[in-house]
Structure 1
Amino acid sequence: MSSTDTYYARNAQQFIADTLQVDMQALYAPFLAALPANAQILDAGCGSGRDALAFQQLGHSVSAFDACPQMAEHASQLLGQAVPVRCFTEVHEVERYDGIWACASLLHVAENRLPDAFARLWRALKPGGVLYCSFKRGQSERLHHERHFTDADEARLAAWVQPLPGLTRTQYWSSADQRPGRSEQWLNALLHKAPSKLVTGGEAHPFLPHLCAAIHQAHQVDMAVAFIKTTGLRLLLPDLLESLQRNESALPPAQVRILTSDYLDVTDPEALRLLMLLAEQGAQVRVYQSSGSSFHLKAYLFAGQDWGRAFIGSSNISRQALQQGLEWNYRIDYPGDDGYLEAQRRFDELFAHPRCAELSDAWIDAYEKRRIPPTQAFEPGSTESEPPPTPSKIQREALQALSATRTEGYLRGLVVLATGLGKTWLAAFDVKQMGARRVLFVAHREEILNQAAATFARIQPSARIGFYRGQQRDYQVDILCASVQTLGKAEHLQRFKPQHFDYLVVDEFHHASAPTYRSLLQHFAPAFLLGLTATPDRTDNADILALCDDNLVYQSDLFCGVTERLLVPFHYYGIFDDDVDYQAIPWRNGRFDPELLGNKLATLGRARHALSTWRLHAQQRTLAFCVSTRHADFMADYFRKQGVRAAAVYADSPLSRGEALQRLSAGQLQVLFSVDLFNEGVDLPSIDTVMMLRPTESKILFLQQLGRGLRKADGKDRLVVLDFVANHQSFLHKPMALMNRSMNHRQLAEFARKAEQGQLDLPEGCFVNYDLQFIDFLKSLDSDSVQSDYRSLREVLGRRPSLTEFYRSGASLQDMRRQHGHWFALVASEESELPEVGRQLIAKHGDFLRELETTAMTKSYKMVLLEAFQELDGWREAIRMEQLAERSWQVLQRRRPLLGDLPEDYQGARQMPADWLSYWKRNPIAAWTGGRYFSSEEGLFIGNLVIAEPAIAPLSEMVQELVDYRLTSYATRLKPADDNVLPLPNRPQQVELAYFPSLKIACGHFRSSRADYEEYRSLGSHYGNLDPSRHFLARASGNSMNGGKQPIRDGDYLLLEVVGSDSAGKITGETVAIERQDESGDNQYLLRKVLKDANGQYRLRANNPDYADIQVTDELREQLRTFARLKAVIDPLEMQVGQRFKREDIPPLFGVEFNPGSWNSGHVVIDERNAHVLLVTLNKQGKAEDLRYRDHWIDEQHFHWQTQNQTAPDNKRGKEIIHHAALGIDLHLFVRDNKLENGKAAPFRYYGKVNYQSHSGSKPMSVVFAVQP
């Protein structure tokens, strides 16, 4: 026994006590980062077993030994496994361990024996493995306290390990002794063993990561394979495209040459079409025409500036060969093996062989015609194929809606689909459904265009697909994928006729209001235009919907995807980011200063916070989004130092995207820190945790990042989202995006209160939790000012909101106009950076802008004319009436919902009617030219405003913004409250009337003869001939009229008719609405009956006898203005027809409280109101098949209902149903389609009162009702 062994035997307990609790995390990190998941680790000289235990607890398989029996015994007890006593000379294993840990152990070996000790450990290490060792820093061999020490520096250690075969890299670093009172400096080293030259394949050693890594690093990529299957090519396509599209800042674009063959017709034609996409990017692709001879090459060659690498073996390009199959491929590295140079020469010769034809669409067409695919596999993967793509349930619904919208005559439509539900796939399916021959797909990012091209190739394999971007100019193709930045320029648009494309797809349509998009949309006139977006709410859709002719074809949000089980449920944690002071970072135009933001985010304190949060909540595979490459590298380095297998990946990172995903999927990585690469366009189903370590500038970006983890995968039951939020306006859009609705500050505060109480309405299986600090921040936003609403919306959007967006957000336009006069006056007061030309226009033409914003509209015609006027450039020169009428007709055809305004004989016309010009002159032209701002002369329509040339474009934008708002608000009046599959019966001659919450608000509007109201209600023909320009609805306030035979109670709905102030003689005996200015200058608004005494004196009388009559003296007459007469008091329930209510919200409609015992049934009797309430679910899930559909609509006016089992015609309840009219009982019908909606109890829609028609049967009875008109 050596003196060192004797020392440790005698002092084992003290040594264990001194070292067992020392923090070694910083040393573990680089070692563990180099290991695969579930690695085999040898702790060589394990001492107390401290390090072996740490590795074991991380899930690795650990073996250990020590030369000291006492140490080995302690380690054995600590690990719960045998720890043998042995020394380095007894290590005989061969290629068994992924990692060997020799911490402070080799330093006790004599220097002359160290080469043998290293050799033995090295032999035990697997190819590709790592060996960690540490020495006290120095240059001597010495004896200290009976122990032998061999000290080392970099030079001495390098000399000892230099003979080790396959040593590819040595990492050195220094560290200080972590034990208290110790000051020694240590040299640490990590020795990397070359991976095996033979890649053996299978799930443990797949070939794919080797290819991805080589593509990522190479300047030259050459591949020669016997066949290419689509399944395999898709695995390589992202890295190949990335290598072709590199910018010069890191590596130059790669030169890519691919050679395959038609040998035995194994190569997929679809794969060849995908290779044409690579050829579009500059790759050279050729096909060896075998003509019956064999072609069995499987060679992959890569070259950098001063290196080369080849893989030659058995793998063709198929999924099985690259990921799963046992395939041998031998690696040749140059310099070191000149065989690489020979392989390169032979490839060059073969690529130039006369039998090698350049791949083209024509060659593929001919190949498809003569190809006879093999029925039996002659090599692994030779017969594998992808199942034909089929639309999902949501996509099928959207396709049906798109087909229907074209049948209705629409030329444009918008579809909103959440990230992960397949927007691009939907477009490709619909192109095929419509049979479009020429397709234009427009987007603003390269990745989207590449993804779209691949998707269309999948749906239409025989289509010719090209690109229009950068320097690429493909014209003669079936499907053109174009960059809006390129094609949107006038000189490029002019190369295409407006009707050149049958079908136009605009992805990320939320960008479509930008000038480049608008010019493109105005130029092309396809048979159909489809706008696609994932934007989650109507506020974001507000402006862009006008560009799709106000035609929202289909919408399915994140919650729908989860409910339909197309996406996994999510557990969302809003983590308060108290390590960063976001208020101190400059914030301009909706963005933080990127450099300062990156500096603030890459700190140790924040990294510690992120790590602790991740350890508390994360699952197996995490994708983390960072703000910069520096941030990603910093976070990955910190996580690795804490023992987490982590890596950073971005455009120029050492790790390729494909290799990173493969390692993450295989469990070799736990966390991937990314910058931009994975925001969209990449399928990442295995991701089960998303960590958002950066602010996102928009809802779209937030949803794209969230969507990376929502896709389903085997064994994945939920997504965990760790989102770092703070008390800054940049984070306000996140709750809105998550909950699929816009919110102003008041609504955000209400959301926070619901979140705090756990009352958020979420799909089944979903969970949302915000840290209390963020909840408090949201609650502090509570405010009801117009300025607050405006600023909150601007903060969310990152720009000035439009009036439509402000309207859609729920802000009060009445308050806005009362305080500022009109919209652009508010804009001018809030926007300090508003261009001076815009500010001058608002000051000079404010009256005109207010006129457009508030002019009365009983039809849409005024705004349609203005849109046509602007499209014809009317501010520059007068327009002929014929042109204006024709363009107006075209605008109406685009905006299909407005066609209902036309006379019935015009509505179905495909061509402009012969008398259209005269009709148009009588309507909006006469209305506009009768005012100050437009005139007509000699057949011309003239804008009277004098506008300088530089101000024309800004004015046009302002006018269009107002037109879009007026048409949006007008169209809202024409639509039902909510989409629902239940039919809402046609109620005869329903009329939309303006609705005001009070007489005061109503009076304010009609005083100025404006029609800038925001709400409407419908009334039927039984109230007489109603005119929307004269009749309106308002709520009564107070109890002065609560009395007599026809009491008017506080809150009752009133139908009123506008009258002039000189109508007193015409309204004697009627109840009127009066405005009275009292002595303080404040106005009062009264309902009173007008009476006339015998002496001709007028009195105003209240129905409530507690209120005295008001004598109308001459002095008082000057203070009174009669502005409306009462036509009827409306039953409040009638105003709710068509609205939807939760079960617990229905009882208050009848003045009673919700009692679950009675209201959870389908038939509720309210005796005090003489009312029966029928609560019907049409599709009764869980019931027997023959019971599910007993309740149903017969037609739009008649409903078939089955009573409860105990109801019979001769018992009390049955009689009350049959004879309800005679008994004075009202029957109220509430219906819903399904029991659940988005995983929650579905609301009921109120259809109003129904009348008994007939019945059959008993216990239960089958009853037919007619819906009251």
Structure 2
Amino acid sequence: MHEGLYETLVTQALAQQLTTLPPKRRTLEQHLDSADAPEVLSRYLAGELQRTLSATKDPERRLALVNRLLAQIEAVDAPVATPARQLYAVHEAQAPTSIIDRPRTPLSDAALLTNAKGDPNLGAELRSEFGSAEQVDLLCAFVRWTGLRLLEEPLRAFTERGGQLRVITTTYVGATERRALDWLVDEIGAHVKVQYELNRTRLHAKSWLFRRATGFDTAYVGSSNLSTAALLDGVEWNVRLSAVATPSLLHKFDATFETYWNDASYVDYHPAQDSERLDAALAEASGRTTRGTALNLSGLQVRPYPHQQQILEQLEVERTVHDRHRNLVVAATGTGKTVVAALDYKNLTADGHRPRLLFIAHRIEILQQALRTYREVLGDGSFGELWGQGYRPEHWQHVFATIQSFTRSTAELAPESFEVVVVDEFHHAHSATYRRLLSYFTPCELLGLTATPERTDGIDVAEEFFDGQTAAEIRLWDALEAELLSPFHYFGIADNVDLSSVSWRRGGYDHTELENVYTGNDARTLIILKELKDKITDPSTMRALGFCVGVRHAQYMAEKFTAAGIPARAVSGESSNEDRGQALSDLRKRRVNILFTADLYNEGIDLPEVDTVLFLRPTESATIFLQQLGRGLRSSPDKAVLTALDFVGHQRKEFRFDRRFRALTGATRRGLRDQIEHGFPFLPSGCQIVLDRQSRQTILGNIKSQTQHRWRTLVSELKALAAMRGADVSLATFLHEGDIELADVLKPGKGWTQLRRDAGLPVPARGPRHEEVVRRAAAIAHVDDPERADAYLRLLSDGAPSYTDLSERDRRYARMLFFSIWPDRGDFPADPAAPDDLYTDGLEAFHAEPAAKAELSEIIGIGRAGIRHLPGELAGPLAVLGLKTHARYSRDEIVAALDHAGPERRADSFREGVLFSEPWQADVFFVTLRKSERDYSPTTMYNDYAISPELFHWESQSRTSIASPTGQRYLHHRERGTHVLLFTREHKQDTLGAAPYLFLGPADYVNHTGERPIAITWRLHRQLPTDAFRTAAVATA
């Protein structure tokens, strides 16, 4: 056999052949993933069957073979009739078959159309598709009349017989013609949506979907917009898809279109009221006009982007659940922090009262922009007053003030003058001026905004002013996906420097020793210069920052670069303000091409022109690494991409590459190794991470070493922390201080109690069931609603009441806790005639386990402190269940809450994806969104997904028909008085084991298609949280 990649089912013959490979050759085989197995096995069977039928010339023998196979798999209704023939249409008796237009490409086939000689042109194929379709969906970057007129007749005929046409388009480069959209809406009756957002126009797709009630849907995806050349004779490539030949691709098309259609960034177009807006947007997109600077309001509702909505939701959780009213928001410059603050203020005015507001910034230009933003959000052109640089408020109700204003006039205002205080660029808060302001005023709500919570002087404003809490943070990943930042190309390059002998002190390399290693290292500098010239097209046009260890290192690099013909300067915290300003001016004007800096430009300066960053030292803090990278991530008109060069040496074992790359990619530690090994395949659009062979080996080796020796390292870190903080250091403190994951501690056979013992710290007594209890400690780590967490803590506390003395609500929680620890009921006697005895014995067993109880309590406390969603109550008869929408539950907790587990039935005996709870008359759906354990499985990813925050697409089990009792109950649940409850999770497993489910809550039937399985759209009673929607959606527009 040839060397190379295969994806072949191993047959008995192939298995035998593999045994004959030469000794130097190896094979890589994997067991079939259960989610992918049906597709893989059926594809193999189809191929073998086709070969056999091709070799059989007798039509009757072919038919007999097929029917024998169908009988073997019990396809009762499927035997093929004699003689073999195909149904091509069902039509009205008066309509002869000759007038039923059909495409030249069979409905069940896929094809590539290139407008070449012999190919049907796309325009003709589209015209023939309309005649048999009930609904047509068009996704097209721009729509022009010259293309529409070629389809005018079939479009009119299609809509006149009741066909529905949906169109999504954009203002991309101003190419869409308003006449074309007006005609579609006014003349054809199409439903048209337009994306107007010029700064994030990502829709370049061109595609059609023709939906048929018969199930024979077809689609076209390719390069052709709606123009004459594209449809007739242009050099265009378009793929024709079919629900028969390419069902998984049709499913993805359908799911993605529905997600876009329900995304608020695509706005309904009505010519009578929207034509002026469309004309203005097209003119601006084409460059014919520019956005005005006048302060008149746009009149448009300001709608948060998904990443901004997520922050607003988290702020509500911080205030409502955690009672925290001093909150810090961390977001990179350019991601809309001020819009978030304004929308948050609007939420605080929901009762009609506008709280007195103080917005602080250090420059009047920032305040003017902030004031405009608040006025846009509130729809009030008279809102707010400026204070500073000649402006002075009259009413003092909503004040936008420079910090300098308060150095002179604080005494004029009472401490309680403002109910809401917002401080922009909060990393300045450590200065004396900001400290005076923060200590003087006593607002009900304080909101800090910053891109850089960690300052170069070592001050962390989150620790100092917010008890170490960051309320919400826009992740780099989210900002890149939203196209709010420039994409990056990151290169990891080996520099051949060995740092293993450099001393490690207080969580990092010794500064002086590290600077000595790099300063004067001409061999390393030659590598840096070579790689820079290889990666940068023209270094004489770049604007770059190089981050160095210290002043000497920065000066050395500047000298070497200048000598090599690349003008450079060194700046640092020791440089004067005049020198710093001149250096920035020289970089902007390209009088120098690179500034080498030590402890400068990590924070608080806007440099959108920077298109290259060089990491010339190992940075232990992931936050500072992202702050440095962020100096080049600001979007700029002449910057297509940020180039980042990171020079990687051989590190000490204490250094952790995983922190940097997890911050860069959003990957879990478990997923990071796979990402590195497979070349980072799932980065946001436009971004790339490329590691050379040596740096890849270094980084993987470092990450593997961290994993292999993790427990020994944890013991050492706990000893060190206890020496500083005392022997009673908590699990939460240990995780926070060391940036450690709970999964690192809750290893099989380990745990927090064991870690403390190994570190020589005191632990409570261990009872006879200690091991079996702590073995299941991870099963309660997800608990994230206050009521359940508090109930579990009460049940684990000393002196907790017995089961029979509990309230009915707490009894239900006790059963949920019991089955979380003993899903198999343990060895406790289970008597259906005396069900309370099982739980009484279980709670009494806890009381004999001081160490285990203490460990569980700490874990529950961590989950409670990290609640990210606002839990909601169920209504009606289901309210007594104690289940909260948008909280997470294990399967064991769910079946216990529904009384499906008890003395007569173990919790772990249920492993199906659907459950009908007879006592509660509820259909419960357990949905795993990513059914395959592979990162990407196109045949299984589009079965269950969120269409919008309110709508969820779900497929029944494969044998459920519409006529079956189960199918009828699903479709008519409201009439029958039954409930539908949806629980979802992304993967089967997470870092702690079996992943918990997020309770989406009750849902109502909207519509359905097909059967075996039935594809049902449900409307949720409560809108999905933004992060949950982004996880569950096929695409976010």
Fold match by TM threshold 0.5: no
Which has more radius of gyration? Answer: 1
TM-score category (smaller protein): 0.3 to 0.5
Higher relative contact order (CA 8 A, sep 6+): 2
